[in-house]
């Protein structure tokens, strides 16, 4: 084989290998996709965030079955297992030191633009908190909430959107799992009630 042909063959192989190893990033939905929302969805400028926290399809390395949600608190990632070989990965914010929760739960309830009811512990730590915060762009639960139950009881932990997108990729919450509003809307549509959630 001629040297030029060998060079092209090698280049082609390296391109194919590069494609196979590169996660497939999910393009951001256009603003028009949220026109029917009850409240405005404030789209984040994703270029300002580390690319590690953008939605992407990756190899399924969780060891869990399709349909499972796996939360990796160490890396600030949430995985929706799509098949034996693939998972959809999202960036998240997790519980601050002293608030982190780990375990297994089930999504027993889902809500669009939920109201927020601070827990008794939150009221004790922050006097003056209202008993209820109405739905909307300023609500800490954001555009969607997935409610985690264990043995039929509410754990008080949620996977939810956020009014503070700059916290994604950090340890900032009171134990809940925060996502960009656009991402939690996407996850909400892909996740039925009864989904198993594993927080590691």
In the residue annotation, 117 being an active-site residue is answered as: no
CA dihedral (73, 85, 68, 80) positive or negative: positive
List 19, 77, 123, 160, catalytic entry: 160
* Chain position carrying tokens 């996709």: 33
CA dihedral (96, 48, 32, 42) positive or negative: positive
Cα 69 from chain centre? 10
In the residue annotation, 160 being an active-site residue is answered as: yes
Q: And the tokens for 79? A: 């995985």
Distance from C-alpha of 177 to C-alpha of 171, rounded to nearest angstrom = 10
Give the DSSP H or E segment for 71.
strand 69-72
Asked if 91 and 169 count as a contact pair (C-beta separation under 8 A), the reply is: yes
DSSP label of 51: G
List 19, 77, 117, 176, catalytic entry: 176
Residues marked as catalytic: 160, 176
């Amino acid at each position: 084989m001629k040297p030029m042909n060998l060079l092209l063959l090698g280049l082609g192989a390296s391109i194919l290998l590069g494609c196979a190893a590169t996660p497939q990033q999910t393009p951001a939905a256009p603003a028009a996709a949220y026109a029917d929302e009850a409240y405005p969805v404030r789209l984040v400028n994703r270029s300002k965030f580390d690319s590690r926290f953008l939605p992407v399809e990756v190899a399924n390395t969780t060891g869990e079955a399709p349909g499972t949600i796996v939360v990796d608190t160490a890396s600030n990632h949430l995985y929706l297992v799509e098949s034996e070989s693939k998972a959809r990965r999202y960036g998240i914010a997790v519980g601050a030191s002293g608030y982190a929760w780990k375990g297994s739960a089930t999504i027993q309830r889902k809500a669009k633009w939920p109201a927020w009811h601070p827990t008794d512990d939150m009221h004790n730590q922050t006097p003056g908190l209202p008993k209820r915060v109405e739905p909307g762009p300023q609500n800490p639960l954001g555009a969607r909430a997935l409610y985690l139950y264990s043995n039929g009881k509410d754990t008080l932990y949620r996977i939810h959107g956020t009014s503070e997108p700059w916290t994604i990729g950090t340890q900032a919450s009171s134990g809940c799992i925060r996502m960009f509003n656009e991402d939690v809307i996407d996850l909400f549509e892909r996740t039925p009630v009864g989904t198993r959630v594993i927080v590691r």
